[in-house]
Structure 1
Amino acid sequence: MAKYNTLLYYCYSTIADAEQFAADHLKFCKSLDLAGRIIVANEGLNGTVSGSPEACRAYMDALHADPRFANIDFKVDEVDVPSFVKMHVRYKSEIVHSGLRDPHIINPEKQTGKHLEANEFLAMKDADDVVILDVRSNYEHNLGKFKNAITLDIENFRDFPSKINELSQYKDKKIITYCTGGIKCEKASALLLHEGFSDVYQLHGGIIKYGKDAGGEDFDGKCYVFDNRLSVEVNSVNPVVISTCFNCGKTTPKMINCANPECNEHFTQCDECGEKMDGCCSDACKEHPRKRVYDGTGYYVKIPQPVNASKKTKALSE
């Protein structure tokens, strides 16, 4: 039996007084001795939490008992150690930052692409009239992506709307969007529909659920995750490594954050270069006076420094 579980989930569901909900939810998570990161907004929840199997089960049961969150599809990973060291619950304007805040234009509760289960995705993905669209950031799809997927040059999901025009050539195709757990696709597919793409789908549960349900077939490389694991294996059917070391170009699946906190770049680096560069992306970062101690993992706990935040929001970052 797994010593710990890690839960990945999201839910678009209106939360009244979401800022107060966030404060209360932080206390609840701490009462279960969970660690993780949860974003709360008026539009819903986006979270990854980790703890004992019993605590995770109690957490899932509690959310499913709330009518607002009854349909949450939790992705559960068994892990040897917790995937976080602290518990954070933060109130924000969106549960995934997109800049698409007008509910009259984008509202995942009312309209998104058609959800495809793993077997449906497998049946469709290689057809001539289908385009598979990765809506994640560069550092994510550089580490791993579906074979033949279209990727976009974006640093953050909020850049996605500005790239819509680059996809106009595919308006007569079936578009299948995918991301890590499905949350970005809810807004990406809704925006595509708003912009005149008529046949839009999304991979339900994202890469993580697809790996569990279909063995990750034809997903090349590893999947970036937003916790101290940094990446996870997805494909147990026909796995390959596609990422290369930022410094030397050698094939490597290892993703790290630069040891210089003022850079904190996400990049792939082989162990040999990791030792040579002390976990940094460049010589300048290696010599930086604030460089963190590299322990071989390339994961660092962030120290939140809220700016112009309310007292309640500051309390949520403890």
Structure 2
Amino acid sequence: MAIYNTLLYYCYSTIADAEQFAADHLKFCKSLGLTGRIIVAEEGLNGTVSGTAEACKTYMDTVHADERFAGIDFKVDEVTEPSFVKMHCRYKAEIVYSGLRDPNVINPQQQTGKHLEPKEFMAMKDRDDVVVLDVRSNYEHSLGKFKNAVTLDIENFRDFPAMINELAKYKDKKILTYCTGGIKCEKASALLLHEGFPEVYQLHGGIIKYGKEAGGQDFEGKCYVFDNRLSVDVNSVNPVVISTCRNCGTTTPKMINCANPECNEHFTQCDECGTKLEGCCSDACQSHPRKRVYDGTGYYVKVPQPVNTNKRNNLQLADR
């Protein structure tokens, strides 16, 4: 029986002295025994936290009591153990990094695409005048995506603005954007509107809420999440597996981090190749002197490492 919860949430709401807020909020989370990662910026909050059901309820009630965050839609998963090892609450320039920091151009508090509840999204997604747009990164949509969705070749959400020209061919369509929890869609849909796309919508609460309220119908594969679970099931109606092992090509839903900490790439790998390569993405990584011990999960507690700019491994909590 699950005795823990994992909460996924975000809120675009102005926070004065956000840096001090982050420090105070970290103390509050630790006082409840929570683990997780929260990003705080002047534009709002972006977090995933995990703890006992009682601690999570206290957290939600306290956050909702603050009028700035009263409208937060917490997505709650029951889990058998906490989804993080430590608690981090950090101040950053944006709660989801996009490089779009001019509030006169992109401001989710003022303009975004029309929010569609999961069942509304399900009713619209297959229409001929609609394009379903996945605004997540490659490693996310390679694991799972909506059937017939348009996906983008981007390593991080900050690459999304550069894709606008490629999307211009869909300007005569209704654009339905989606992401994991909804946070990326707020800025993606705002940018699309700014660039002249006339009808832009977004899936309220993202894939996670869609799974809970619409059974995840037609979401193919699993959904990547930014905690030690790495992925979760979404579709209880017509599930399929679409991801394949990077090393041998066999179908597999399992995503791991490369055991080489200087690579740390997220990729899909079957158990057989995982055992053979000891959780590494390549022979080169397998022979790396700092290779971590592979325990079959492919999840490792993060430690500071030199950035390898040649790898697609600069994943951020904000990038969801």
**TM-score, normalization by structure 2:** 0.95
Q: What letter is aligned with 1:196? A: G
**Structure 1 residue aligned with 2:110:** 110
Aligned-residue RMSD, C-alpha: 1.1
In structure 2, how many angstroms separate the alpha carbons of the residues matched to 1:71 and 1:127?
31
**Structure 2 residue aligned with 1:271:** 271
**Structure 2 residue aligned with 1:24:** 24
Structure 1 position 305, deviation (Å): 6.7
In structure 1, how many angstroms separate the alpha carbons of the residues matched to 2:93 and 2:301?
23
In structure 2, how many angstroms separate the alpha carbons of the residues matched to 1:5 and 1:302?
21
- Change over 3 Å in CA distance of 1:306–1:268 after alignment to 2: closer
**Structure 2 residue aligned with 1:214:** 214
1:137 equivalent to 2:149? Answer: no
Q: What letter is aligned with 2:58? A: A
Structure 1 position 50, deviation (Å): 0.2
**Structure 1 residue aligned with 2:89:** 89
User: 1:133-174: per-residue Cα shift (whole Å, max 9, x none)?
Assistant: 000000000000000000000000000000010000000100
Structure 2 gaps, min length 5 = 308-320
Structure 1 position 304, deviation (Å): 4.0
Matches within 5 A, 1:47-126: 47-126=47-126
Q: What letter is aligned with 2:41? A: A
Instruction: Give the 3-state SS of the residue equivalent to 1:84 in structure 2.
Output: coil
In structure 2, how many angstroms separate the alpha carbons of the residues matched to 1:298 and 1:220?
22
**Structure 1 residue aligned with 2:313:** none
- Change over 3 Å in CA distance of 1:305–1:261 after alignment to 2: closer
User: 1:38-84: per-residue Cα shift (whole Å, max 9, x none)?
Assistant: 00000000000000000000000000000000000000000001000
Structure 1 position 256, deviation (Å): 0.3
In structure 2, how many angstroms separate the alpha carbons of the residues matched to 1:129 and 1:183?
25
Q: What letter is aligned with 2:86? A: K
| Percent of residue pairs identical | 85
Instruction: Give the 3-state SS of the residue equivalent to 1:155 in structure 2.
Output: coil
Structure 1 position 303, deviation (Å): 1.8
In structure 2, how many angstroms separate the alpha carbons of the residues matched to 1:168 and 1:305?
39
**Structure 2 residue aligned with 1:127:** 127
Aligned length: 307
- Change over 3 Å in CA distance of 1:160–1:23 after alignment to 2: same
Structure 1 position 2, deviation (Å): 2.3
Matches within 5 A, 1:244-283: 244-283=244-283
In structure 2, how many angstroms separate the alpha carbons of the residues matched to 1:180 and 1:287?
34
1:285 equivalent to 2:285? Answer: yes
Structure 1 position 13, deviation (Å): 0.3
Instruction: Give the 3-state SS of the residue equivalent to 1:154 in structure 2.
Output: coil
Structure 1 runs, 4 residues or longer, greater than 2 Å off: 304-307
